Amino acid sequence: MNSGRACPLYYRYSPDVFSQAATIRAETIYVIGGLYGNQPALDAIHLLAANENVTPTLVFNGDFNWFDVNPDDFAAINIDVLKHVALRGNVETELANLTDDGCGCAYPDSVNDAEVERSNEIMATLKKTARQVPSLTDTLSKLPMTAVAEVGAARIGIVHGDAASLAGWRFAHDALNETANQTWLHEVCADNQLAGFASSHTCLPTFRRFQRFGVDAARHFVINNGAAGMPNFGGTAYGLLTRISIHHAPDDITQYGDTINGIHVDAIPVHYDTDAFVKTFLRDWPAGSPAHTSYFGRITNGPDFAPPHALGLIKPSAPSCG
C-alpha cells in the first residue's frame, strides 16, 4: 500500500483499552483535535477557557502540529500543548519515525493520490523541523493514543482516530451512516461502560447520536470536532472544538449540541485571528507549496461542508480530508 494510505500495525489497539479507569476527571473538558500548528487558534482556545465559570480541562487529541514548520513556532505550540492533557495523532507519531511511512493518515480511496502525496511532502518538511528539537519530538512520540475521561457520571473515550486505530476512519461523518459501524459503536461503548467517543482525525466534523434497541436502550454518541485550527464549513473562518460538560454551554457560542446521558455535548466555534494565521501560513507555505495547494482554499473559504452534513441530515459532496 502507498505511503500515506497505510495504517501501521503500531497504530492499532484493542477497544478493551477503554475499560481502564478514567485518567481525566473534570466538570468540563475541551477536546481539541486538528490544531495544525495554528497559534492564533490556540490563543483563542485559551480565551474561551478563561471565560468559563469553571475552568475546563484541555485535552489535545492529536495533530496539533502540521503547518508549524518554523522551529520557533513548532517549539511554542508544543510547549504550550504539553502543559495540558495531550494524546498523539498520526502527525506526532510520525515525527519520531525514522522510516518513510509518509503522514500516517491512512487515507481512504475517496482522497486522491495527489492529495496523499502532498500530505507526505508536508510531513517530510515538518520532520526536518522536529529533528532540530529531538527531546521534544521524543516526548511527543511517547504520548498515549487513547484516554478515558469522566465528566459527571459519564465515561467518554477520547481518541484521535477511532476505537481501534490511531488513524481509523470509522468515526468519519460518512462512515457513521453504515449500520455496521453504528453497531460496533454500541458494542464498544456497552463493553466499556462509555457514553460515547470524542475524536478528530478525519478533518471534517460530525456529531451523531444512535439509540440501541433490543439488548438495551442505550444512547451512544460520536462527536468529531474536525479541525480546531481550520474552518470546517463553507464560507466560515473559524475552527471547532468539542465541549463536554455537566454545565450548559452558553447558547450564543454553540454551533450544535445535545444533552446525552446527563452531560452536555457541544461543538464550539474557535474564532481565531484569521489574518494573523494566513500571514504566518503564507510565510512558510507560499503558492505552489504542497500545503498551499492542499489547504489554502479551505483556510480562506472553508470546505464544501455545512452543519447539516456534520449532523448526518444530508450527504456532503466533499470527501473527508484527514
Q: Which CATH number is 90's domain given?
A: 3.60.21.10
Q: What is the pLDDT, as a whole number, of residue 5? A: 47
3-state secondary structure of 51: coil
Residue 320's pLDDT is: 44
Q: Where are the beta strands (DSSP E) in the chain?
A: 24-26, 28-32, 57-61, 85-87, 146-151, 154-159, 196-199, 206-211, 219-224, 239-245, 256-260, 263-270
pLDDT at 106: 62
Q: Is residue 316 part of a domain?
A: no
Inside any domain, residue 173:
yes
Q: What backbone torsions phi and psi does residue 13 show, to the nearest 5 degrees?
A: -150, 160
Q: Is 314 exposed, middle or buried (0-12, 13-18, 19+ CB in 10 A)?
A: exposed
The dihedral of CA 149, 32, 94, 117: what is its sign?
positive
Q: Answer whether residue 172 is part of any domain.
A: yes
Q: Which amino acid is at 65?
A: N
Q: Which amino acid is at 244?
A: I
Domain holding 133, by residue range, is 9-310
The answer to whether residue 231 sits within a structural domain is yes
Is residue 127 included in any domain, yes or no? Answer: yes
What separation in angstroms does the CA of 23 have from each of 26, 85, 93, 301, 310?
A: 10, 10, 21, 38, 29
Is residue 322 domain-resident? no
Which residues of the chain are under the pLDDT cut of 50? Answer: 1, 4-5, 318-320, 322
Angstrom distances, CA of residue 83 to CA of 36, 80, 94, 120, 205:
17, 6, 21, 28, 26
Q: Is residue 76 part of a domain?
A: yes
Cβ-count burial 188-222 (b if 16+ within 10 Å, e if not)? bbeebebbbbbbbbbbbbbbbebebeeeeeebbbb
The helix (H) or strand (E) run that includes residue 61 is strand 57-61
Q: What is the pLDDT of residue 240?
A: 98
Beta carbons of 36 and 64 less than 8 angstroms apart: yes
For 239-271, b/e burial (b = at least 16 CB within 10 A) is bbbbbbbebebeeeeebbbeebbebbbbbbbbb
Q: 446521558: which residue's cell? A: 261
Which grid coordinates belong to 307? 452543519
**pLDDT, position 8:** 74
CA angle 76-38-144, nearest 5°? 70
Mean pLDDT score of the chain: 91
Q: Give the separation between CA 2 and CA 261, rounded to whole angstroms.
A: 42
Q: Which residues pair with 286 in a beta bridge?
A: none
pLDDT at 98: 56
Selection from 167, 198, 165 nearest residue 59 by Cα: 198
Cα radius of gyration rounded to whole Å, the chain: 18
Exposure of 194 in the CB half-sphere (CA atoms within 13 A): 30
pLDDT of residue 96: 80
As a residue count, the chain comes to 322
For residue range 19-59, list pLDDT tens digits in order: 999 999 999 999 999 999 999 999 999 999 999 999 999 99
Domain count for the chain: 1
Three-state secondary-structure class, residue 311: coil
Q: Are 62 and 282 in contact (CB under 8 A)?
A: no
In a domain, 289, yes or no: yes
